Structure 1
Amino acid sequence: MPKVSIIMATYNRAQCILESIQSIQAQIFTDWECLIINDGGTDNTQEILAPILEQDIRFKYFRRTPDYQKGLPGSRNYGLDLAKGDYIIFFDDDDIAHPQNLELCVFELSKKDVSFCRYIRDIFTGDFVYNFDYSKTYTSFYIDCHYIERILKNELLFNSCAVMWRKECFKYHRFDENLMYAEEWELYSRIISDGVKGISINKSLFYGRKHADSNTGEFFNNNPFRRASNAQAIYLVVKNLKERNMLSIEILRYFIQVSLQYKEFNLFERIINTLDLPKIEGLKWRLFYAHLPLRLFFYGIWKKVKK
């Protein structure tokens, strides 16, 4: 059995998947399998990969079955059900992995007190510059449920391709297949709120290709489909924390402020309704929400004056 299962969902990325695959083949740590899950793409990805699939049996190619919904979450859940490794890591089909990626993560996970290893993910545009830092000297810190507020506010980023997990972390937690954006943010926060402890190492081990037709690119271009998914992910996060008695005033205030950006999805009302608050407390939050635009307006003026 392989030590690590790499799960790579792909959809019409024939033009760049080969470079991603080659970065996996260049890994210093070699005890892995790579499960490539085609999410119904129609380009020539399979033909491009055919020579590699024939020469390197560590790569396995599948087409997502109807048992899983179309989309990244469904393809990754399919990969999780196929995975044989002790450790799970998700790579995208257009990015580049540092040659030490698996090596250093496996080393950190060999410590019995951690269930995941987080690392730094950098962004690049255009052609990738292959100039890796091979140093094994880096700082680190432990992460547990006390970091949940920083994670949810994206002050401590948990990118889908920047964490290696013990397989047990997915025993009771899977991607929500109805989400088409922020699905990893919702899932990872759910896992960590369950009491899982991990380590974060301050070393860049993954490089994300920035382009407009990625899920993230579409979100920042105000794609309504991605925005609706983000609103739903926020709702699910609030609901999960409420059920675990982990929803602090600070986190609730933050998400109510964020809900101003999602009025078309009625996010504020959905948050308030799921909290099942006493009438007086509910009224206080409604007043807080009603006055937020004015407060933010004057706060913006104050920041400009302060400069």
Structure 2
Amino acid sequence: MSVLVSIIIPTYNRGHLILDTLKSVQNQLHSNFECLVVDDHSNDNTDEIVKQFCVNDSRFRYFKRPSNRLKGANACRNFGLENSKGDFINWLDSDDLLTENHIQEHLLVYEDHKAINASVSEAGTFVEFIGDSEQKWSNIFSKNDLIEDMLTSKVSWQTAAVLWKQSELPSRPFREDLSSSQEWTFHLSQVMEGLNFFSFNLVTVFVRRHEDRIGKDASKTKFESAFLSRYIILKKLYVEKRLKKPYQKALLNKMLQAVKKAIYFKYDKVLFKQTLKLISIIYIAEYRMSLIKIIFLYIPIYRITRRGETLFKL
């Protein structure tokens, strides 16, 4: 198969890790690819390493996120897409690794299932080297309702484990105002829109486990994003008249956990925004009485006394 595959790598201060990631791309058995590395303005030696790699292999290109785009991996991913030329798109984090048959296996799935717009493989994990962990990154197979399984994290697709048909992608797949849960929001949105995909039982990606991964921090932007992503999906399901009770419960519980954390870490501005959004959806929630109690009784009590955190669950 001679199709061109675009691999897009957002990066920030990964000079100590990105070389292994680039080599895993370079070693692909399917050699007709381009790799776009989009730097979120690193202040380490990331640029030196990537630029030298580009000199040695013309399939690799180096960009910096435009200053007029929001900082973060999502803007880098979207910018990479805008500058890509491939028939297929694959996003890869700059600390993770692809198996050498990653692209090849995904393209074989497309040959066998010509109507699909996405192929989904499994992902493994590692700490220092591939083979030092037997833990899978997540389950990718749904037994019943895929939307509900994604809402409750029973099913999750690793970003690099999905090969997308470029012609069917939205122009900016990743919401640039989210600093976490962005892949979850994108994947779930695509599934809700009737994505035709095929999942296959083969590990083609390995996710590095370390404390410096994106999403490991306790920043206020993380709590904002965890809340906002669920709010976005809840409103989308409501507008489409598909907001089932189990969906509501899963989404609202996740939102309330983000509220609890915002209170605990004293992010009052975040809490204020979250509370306003909760008030705005009271009218659509089947759990409206519980929601009213939480908003107007439990939140003030917990904020003042730091007691009652078990009440933040439907």
The TM-score by the shorter chain falls in which range? 0.7 to 0.9
Identity of aligned residues (%): 24
The whole-number CA distance in structure 1 between the counterparts of 2:275 and 2:162 is 31
- The one-letter amino acid paired with 2:210 is H
Residues in 2 aligned to 1:2 and 1:65: alpha-carbon distance in whole angstroms: 29
Tell me if structure 1 keeps the 8 A contact 2:6–2:87.
yes
Residue of structure 2 in register with 1:135 after alignment: none
| Equivalent position amino acid for 1:123 in 2 | T
Quick check: 1:259–1:268 contact (8 Å CA) kept in 2?
A: no
Aligned to 2:57: 56
Q: Tell me the residue number matched to 1:109.
A: 110
Q: TM-score, normalised by structure 2?
A: 0.80
Could you say what secondary structure the match of 1:217 adopts? coil
Cα deviation digits, residues 160-201 of structure 1 (max 9, x gap) = 222111113323552111110111111111111111110111
Whether the aligned pair in 1 keeps the contact of 2:82 and 2:171 (CA below 8 Å) is no
Q: Which of these residues, 122, 125, 134, is aligned with residue 123 of structure 1?
A: 125
Among 221, 243, 254, which residue is 1:225 paired with? 221
Say whether the 8 Å CA contact 2:230–2:254 is kept in structure 1.
Answer: no
2:179 aligned counterpart, secondary structure: coil
Partner of 1:252: 248
Unaligned runs of 5+ in 2: 134-139, 263-270, 299-306
Matched, 1:282 2:278: no
**Alignment-mate amino acid for residue 7 of structure 1:** I
CA distance in structure 2 between the partners assigned to 1:237 and 1:155 by the alignment: 17
- Structure 1 runs (4+) deviating above 4 angstroms are 140-144, 266-269, 287-291
Cα distance in 2 for partners of 1:120, 1:268 equals 37
Which one-letter code corresponds to 1:232 in the other structure?
Answer: L
Give the counterpart letter for 2:169 in structure 1: F
Mapping of 1:106-255 within 5 angstroms?
106-110=107-111, 111-129=113-131, 146-171=145-170, 174-218=173-217, 222-255=218-251
Provide closer, same or farther for how the CA distance between residues 18 and 284 of structure 1 changes in structure 2, counting only shifts above 3 A: closer
Name the count of aligned residue pairs: 286
Structure-to-structure mapping, 1:35-54, within 5 angstroms: 35-54=36-55
Distance 1:105 1:130 in 2: 25
**Which residue number corresponds to residue 277 of structure 2?**
270
CA 125–190 in structure 1, closer or farther in 2 if over 3 Å, else same: same
**Secondary structure class of the residue paired with 1:187:** helix
SS in 1 for 2:281: helix
Distance in 1 between residues matched to 2:251 and 2:279, nearest whole Å: 11
Write the letter of the residue equivalent to 2:288: G
Note the C-alpha offset of 1:253: 1.3
Q: TM-score, normalised by structure 1?
A: 0.82
Contact residue 4 and residue 87 of structure 2 kept, 8 A: yes
Shift of 1:103: 0.5
Report the residue type matching 2:188 in the other structure: S
Instruction: State the 1:97 CA deviation.
Output: 0.5
Residues 68-100 of structure 1 deviation map (CA, whole Å, 9 limit, x = unaligned): 211011000101101111111111111111111
Higher RCO structure (Cα 8 Å, ≥6 apart): 1
